[in-house]
């Protein structure tokens, strides 16, 4: 079946603008994660959705970042008033349930460049 | 909170040589442990994982890793490297009782000489 898909693959925006990044998880996966991969750094956890439970937002770096997941499937990560330090690759992953039950499958990422 | 250290940022090996990539973690209990590979322009692919049981785990593409509790390590090994193994490798830790996110190391970029 299809893997995790993300759109757009690349996004260039101007400082101060808002951006929306989309993630389509693998069908049937109840858990969805967003990570950020900045140049020269590892992956940084942002937010985690599990079924209908309240999301774990503990990794969001500021209140400019938010995410939602509609119908337990597609997720959108929104960054408001983008800053240059937001430039990174944003990765989405999904898994059958939580971490205890198996691997996270990653999408190809969205490369965000803030000018 | 858990943390992961990959001490080697870059490693270069000759094709056919053996490989060991180091990973050390910090966590108060036995964690879930993972190795992912990221090839240029590709997403992250799981190589192998350790949840419990046998401390030597086999993965895809001929990779293996050994969990050593006493050293808080989970090093990745391959007996004979192929040119196609050139990529970036990430070690990750998941906490059993504190959320479901993965904490990643900074990655090791592997280059393979012909």
Confidence of residue B97 (pLDDT cuts 50, 70, 90): low
Chain B residues near residue A5 by CB distance under 8 angstroms: none
| Whether A54 contacts chain B with CB within 8 A | no
Residue B99 pLDDT exceeds 80: no
Give A54's DSSP letter: P
Contact B102 A50 (CB under 8 A): no
Query: pLDDT tens digit string along B34-77?
Result: 999 998 877 899 999 998 888 999 999 999 999 999 999 999 99
- Strand partners for A44: A36
How much is the pLDDT for B18?
Answer: 97
Q: How many CB pairs under 8 A join A and B?
A: 62
Minimal Cα distance from B37: which residue of A?
A: A106
Whether A24 contacts A5, CB under 8 Å: yes
Instruction: Report the 10 Å Cβ neighbour count for A13.
Output: 16
Tell me whether A39 touches chain B (CB under 8 Å).
Answer: no
By three-state DSSP, how is residue B26 classified? strand
């Amino acid at each position: 079946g299809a893997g995790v898909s993300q759109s757009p693959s690349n996004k260039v925006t101007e400082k101060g603008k808002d951006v929306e990044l989309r993630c389509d998880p693998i069908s049937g996966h109840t858990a969805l994660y967003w990570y950020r991969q900045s140049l020269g750094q590892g992956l940084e956890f942002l937010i985690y959705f599990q079924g209908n439970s309240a999301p774990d937002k503990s990794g969001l770096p500021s209140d400019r970042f938010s995410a939602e997941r509609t119908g337990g499937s597609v997720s959108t990560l929104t960054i408001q008033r983008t800053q240059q330090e937001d430039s990174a690759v944003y990765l989405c992953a999904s898994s059958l349930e939580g971490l205890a039950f198996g691997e996270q499958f990653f999408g190809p990422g969205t490369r965000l460049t803030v000018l | 909170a858990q943390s992961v250290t990959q001490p080697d940022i870059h490693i270069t090996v000759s094709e056919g040589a053996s490989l060991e990539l180091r990973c050390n973690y910090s966590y108060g209990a036995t964690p879930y442990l993972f190795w992912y590979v990221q090839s240029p322009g590709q997403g992250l692919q799981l190589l192998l994982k350790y949840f419990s049981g046998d401390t030597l785990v086999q993965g895809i593409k001929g990779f293996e890793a050994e969990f050593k509790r006493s050293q808080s390590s989970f090093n990745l090994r391959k007996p004979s490297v192929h040119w196609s193994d050139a990529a970036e490798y990430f070690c990750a830790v998941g906490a059993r009782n504190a959320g479901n996110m993965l904490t990643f190391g900074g990655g090791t970029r592997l280059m393979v000489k012909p």
